[in-house]
Amino acid sequence: MLIMFKAESPMSGREAVDALSASVSRMGWLRRHATPFAGRVWESGFRISCTMGGRDSFNPLLFGRFLPSAHGTRVRVVMTLHPIVWVFLALWTILIDCLAFSRGMITFLGVLVLLLPWLIGVPLFFYNVVRSKRLLWQCLKMSNHP
């Protein structure tokens, strides 16, 4: 699952970095975040994720680049799952395949167990993509938003 988009912000590059930095706190497992995002922002880009009340493994990571444009700043963003979640999904799929399907025990329950993380994760990921994108639009006052 990989979502890519571009948008324009009327802000200068420095203003965009400052605006997003004000909305991003440092990552921390035991930390409560008062900002909409946690992660890191630097002059040319960012790596952030949306903060929420609890933990959500299917919350996308946002990797972005700030690029100068004629009307302010162009922002290119890639959203994907955390690498640990990708590893879990791959291992889960391989493990269930090896345990059940390679031994000829293809059953409805086996297929359900195989697909369960995907059936839960994909809708959650896309729900969180919409939320994260909306918050990013608001922070950077971008045009062409949904």
Q: What is the mean pLDDT of each run of 10 residues along the chain (146 residues)?
A: 88 91 79 79 93 75 93 92 91 82 70 86 91 89 59
> Which SS3 state, helix, strand or coil, does residue 141 take?
coil
Q: Is the full-model pTM beyond 0.75?
A: yes
Phi (first) and psi of residue 25, to 5 degrees: -110, 170
Q: What does the DSSP 8-state code read for residue 145?
A: -
Q: What does the DSSP 8-state code read for residue 103?
A: G
List the beta bridge partners of residue 39: 48
